Structure 1
Amino acid sequence: MWLSFQIALQFLTIIPVSYASASDQQLGRSLVFYPVIGLIIGLILSGLISVLPVSYSLLSAALLLTAWVLLTGGLHIDGLADSADAWLGGIGNKQRTLEIMKDPAAGPIAVVVLTLSLLIKLALVEIVISSGETSALIWSIILARTAMPLLFLTTDYVRPNGIGAVLKQCLPVKQVKWMLLITTVIALFCLGFTPLLLGLIVFLLHRYTMEHRLDGFTGDTAGAMVELLEISFLLFLILF
């Protein structure tokens, strides 16, 4: 289990981790630790908030957002950019959509979507810093990553190979279900019902678009989902 934790930490952050090798089963079990990695990311960012100047909240928000992107290696932002390009360029054509997502070049729609998403995040982070509600930031990161195992549990992976295919094939169903149950119960106790319900609606809408367009999901659309859920949960937790 320790190795599976290390795999999750290496995949979701830039924190240096070294291990000799891992089996497909250990890769699959890494999904169980995604909420824990979200907690680690959230605690690191909340620690940074404590040393940033509140009187310059916009500057502090920009620095924190930069640290957030760097800490996660821009993984989910990249998925959002690729998905944005593919959704526009591959309208009505599943294969074309998949091909565009594999293209490393970013088109205009990707730039626009990334700019807007980062601007919204910047505004939300500034509110967190000004209000001192760091728990909203931590929980938004945890819950967005909790949605990844849920997606693997409930949705087909459309590409025939790659790490996503391995994770789907070796998913520890029972352990993931227990993890989802425990995380949900703790979140309900800490946050209440409304933010979780609204977050679930965003998840289901995103899942529906993936099913409708691709008959499943890819690594890019999963990354886009995390990015959108981070924004959604942070917004809901600030509002409610």
Structure 2
Amino acid sequence: MKRFFDWREPILAIQFLTRIPTPQIHDFEPSLLAKSVGWFPAVGLVISALLLGIVYACALLDPWLAAILGLAFWTWITGGLHLDGLADMSDGLGAAHRDPARFLAVLKDPHLGSFGVLSLIIQCLIKLVLLMLIVKQQQWAALLLIPAWARSGVFIWQTLPALAPGMAEQFAWKNSRNAALCWWSTLLTASAYLSPVLLIAPLVLVAYRQWLKAKIGGVTGDCLGAGIEISESGLLLIAVVGTGIIAAIHS
């Protein structure tokens, strides 16, 4: 008998994307991982709600304190999963020189190279500064929506060919078109009411997909994680700059 709602899917999404304690799944099936993708934006909202609570409370004392503790919490709750993907992808791109075989070989290397280290440093600095500016502008709605927007990108990034067996291939087992349409409609509506500058978010997600297609011709699990990090930073930047431009026009 087919289940109308399988509670294992959201639980697995939380387990995969965060360090949040969850009930243990005893009857795990590999196909559940693909089905759990539909819950990724919801997990993003859980992460952002907790993040917002910490940042908002610390912002009462100092914007930089809020940004530093917010970034620390953001990294901890995700277990550095997406940062790891960004570092691996950066190492691969730095050594590949448009050679897909070399790119995949570097991805499999457990050691972190100079390109990976630099990408981690730059990414953390970018997020730190942008978080501080988000706090100063009091863009709480944007901070709430951005992690969900970033994780919704997996819906379209996974449509690229998987370059090797792994997470990207498993996510592609199931078509998430209905979940994508539902979540993007929800996030667009919420953005229109709460943070209009984020209406550009789908273009950011599509742009990353097109970049992956042109640069490496497909996707890996590391590319998916890197995409979440890149999208979060990009949307934070758009929120900060967009709000600044709007404020300048009104003044």
Task: Report the TM-score when normalising by structure 2.
Answer: 0.86
Moved more, 100-109 or 70-79: 100-109
Whole-angstrom distance in 1 between the partners of 2:28 and 2:137 = 43
Secondary structure of residue in 2 paired with 1:52: helix
2:172 matched to 1:168? yes
Partner of 2:96: 90
Q: 1:202 aligns with which of 201, 204, 208?
A: 204
- The superposition leaves residues 72-130 of structure 1 with CA deviations (integer Å, 9 ceiling, x where unpaired) of 10011011101111111011210100111121211111111211111111011112223
**Consecutive unaligned residues in structure 2, runs of 5 or more:** 1-5, 243-251
Partner of 1:217: 219
Q: 1:102 aligns with which of 108, 111, 119?
A: 108
Amino acid in structure 1 at the alignment position of 2:58: L
Moved more, 230-239 or 16-25: 16-25
Q: 2:62 aligns with which of 53, 56, 60?
A: 56
* Contact 1:80 1:114 survives alignment (8 Å): yes
Amino acid in structure 2 at the alignment position of 1:148: V
Displacement of 1:59 in angstroms is 2.5
Alignment coverage as a number of residue pairs: 236
Amino acid in structure 1 at the alignment position of 2:240: I
* Contact 2:85 2:225 survives alignment (8 Å): yes
Displacement of 1:191 in angstroms is 2.8
The 5 Å alignment of 1:129-140 reads: 129-140=135-146
Partner of 2:188: 184
The 5 Å alignment of 1:221-236 reads: 221-236=223-238
Amino acid in structure 1 at the alignment position of 2:51: L
* Contact 1:150 1:180 survives alignment (8 Å): no
Whole-angstrom distance in 1 between the partners of 2:186 and 2:207 = 24
Secondary structure of residue in 2 paired with 1:96: helix
* Contact 1:54 1:130 survives alignment (8 Å): no
Give me the identity figure in percent: 27
2:17 matched to 1:12? yes
Amino acid in structure 2 at the alignment position of 1:128: I
Task: Report the TM-score when normalising by structure 1.
Answer: 0.90
Displacement of 1:213 in angstroms is 3.2
Change (3 A) 1:172 1:140: closer
Partner of 2:247: none
**Consecutive unaligned residues in structure 1, runs of 5 or more:** none
Amino acid in structure 2 at the alignment position of 1:64: G
* Contact 1:27 1:170 survives alignment (8 Å): no
Partner of 1:147: 153
Secondary structure of residue in 1 paired with 2:130: helix
Moved more, 41-50 or 22-31: 22-31
Amino acid in structure 2 at the alignment position of 1:219: G
Moved more, 36-45 or 127-136: 127-136
Whole-angstrom distance in 2 between the partners of 1:200 and 1:189 = 16
* Contact 1:85 1:100 survives alignment (8 Å): yes
Whole-angstrom distance in 1 between the partners of 2:202 and 2:118 = 26
- The superposition leaves residues 179-224 of structure 1 with CA deviations (integer Å, 9 ceiling, x where unpaired) of 33333333334333x5332x33333332223212332100111111
Moved more, 207-216 or 62-71: 207-216
Whole-angstrom distance in 1 between the partners of 2:142 and 2:177 = 29
Displacement of 1:172 in angstroms is 4.1
Whole-angstrom distance in 2 between the partners of 1:88 and 1:141 = 27
Secondary structure of residue in 1 paired with 2:26: coil
Secondary structure of residue in 1 paired with 2:62: helix
